[in-house]
Amino acid sequence: MSTTKIIGSGTYLPEVVRANTAFLNHKFYDTEGAAIDSNNEEIVAKFQAITGIEERRYAPENMKSSDLATQASLRAIEAAQIDPETLDYIIVAHNVGNIQSDSMQVDILPSVASRVKTNLGIQNPRCVAYDLIFGCPGWIEGVIQAHAFIKAGMAKKCLVIGSETLSRVVDASDRDSMIFADGAGATVIAASEEEGGILSHLSTTFTAEGEADYIFYGTANRETKDTTKYIKMQGRKVYEFALVHVPQAMKDCLELSGVEVDQVKKIFIHQANQKMDEAIVKRFYRLFKASAPEAVLPMNIEKYGNSSVATVPTLYDLVVKTNFKGHSLNKGDLVLFASVGAGMNINAITYQV
């Protein structure tokens, strides 16, 4: 019986590093448009203590999201040792599409996926390229869709990418702007006769209590006549929502696989906020009346920030290829992928390497 496995992964993390000290000269305002009284040293220190972020990566001026995605894809294709002409689908998850460094205009026409296919030089018209808008969980949802295509006999190999240039849609007067970063992660998902692969998956969307407005496009915090929209979030509500719903979704997903929690080797969770992620994992294990193993949670948010759809695939690739911070994976290891983000969407995958 065939399974669905990740046969290659690749990452492109831009070389432009923006440390927290770069925000010391910013003028921050609250959501009511009032200047924040605290000095910036205090604001930045508190931000770092909560999120764990010390620095983040921004795309260079000459690169758009499709360029980042292309570079990550080339590395994933090389790792998978496949002919790109044999790809059946290219699925690109993102939130804001292509944005040039000198423009705030979102550009997703044509799709980012079509641009990536063009950049890769793929001639096969039956390689279908499309974009996926699912908030930060977009890459995981793309893997779930690729898995569905493969299980239905509609595909044998799919390229699933998460790529983002959020640095180009942040409001410099908003403290939350320090969270966001740029990057791209890509994976080749393929039918396999090996054991393991995707054992279970689960996706949810919460909107009944106004959750869809927790992360949104809104105007600047500072007083201005400019109507330009920027990425915004209700941070406290996102935090509280995630702590309640993500651990349960992870538990439900794991139980669908029939695997016991003590078999989980690693949890690759969306790198949104260090304290939040740690709390989610603790609550997940608490649902099983267990304690989280010390080395179960690899994290790279402190150096790469929150690149939305790119955080999970880039972290996975770093662990697979570099034994990142002592984290590694071996054949047969069981891992959980999980994410939460705009929508409000949550998803998870139980996966055996």
Q: In this structure, which long-range contacts are made by residues 17-21, counting pairs with CB atoms below 8 Å and at least 24 apart in sequence? A: 17/55, 17/56, 17/57, 17/58, 18/55, 18/56, 18/57, 18/58, 18/167, 19/54, 19/55, 20/44, 20/47, 20/48, 20/53, 20/54, 20/55, 20/178
pLDDT at 184: 98
**DSSP 8-state code for residue 97:** B
Q: What is the 3-state secondary structure (H, E, C) of 210-271?
A: CHHHCEEEECCCCCCCCCCCEEEECHHHHHHHHHHHHHHHHHHHHHHHCCCHHHEEEEEECC
Whole-number Å distance between alpha carbons of 320 and 317: 5
Q: How far is CA 318 from CA 88, 141, 221, 237, in A?
A: 26, 20, 36, 31
pLDDT at 273: 93
3-195 belongs to CATH 3.40.47.10: yes
The answer to whether residue 1 scores a pLDDT higher than 90 is no
pLDDT at 249: 98
Q: What is the DSSP string of 152-184?
A: TTS-SEEEEEEEEEGGGG--TTSGGGGTB-EEE
The answer to whether residue 225 scores a pLDDT higher than 70 is no
pLDDT at 2: 82
The answer to which of 30-39, 94-103, 239-248, 303-312 has the lowest mean pLDDT is: 30-39
**Most confident range, picked from 25-29, 232-236, 308-312, 321-325:** 308-312
pLDDT at 26: 86
pLDDT in tens, 166-209: 999 998 888 889 999 999 999 999 999 988 999 999 999 999 99
Report the mean per-residue pLDDT for the chain: 94
Delimiting residues of CATH 3.40.47.10 domain(s) in the chain:
3-195, 198-352
pLDDT at 70: 98
Q: Which residue has the higher pLDDT, 34 or 73?
A: 73
pLDDT at 106: 82
What percent of the chain is modeled with pLDDT above 70?
Answer: 99
CATH superfamily of 198-352: Thiolase/Chalcone synthase (3.40.47.10)
Q: What is the DSSP string of 3-36?
A: EEEEEEEEEE--SEEEEGGGGTT---B-TTSPBP
Torsion of CA 95, 98, 104, 105, to 10 degrees: -100
Residues marked as catalytic: 136, 270, 306
Q: What is the largest CA-CA distance in the chain?
A: 62
CB atoms within 10 A of CB 35: 12
The answer to which of 31-40, 177-186, 311-320, 331-340 has the lowest mean pLDDT is: 31-40
The answer to which of 7-21, 33-47, 53-67, 193-207 has the lowest mean pLDDT is: 33-47
CB atoms within 10 A of CB 320: 19
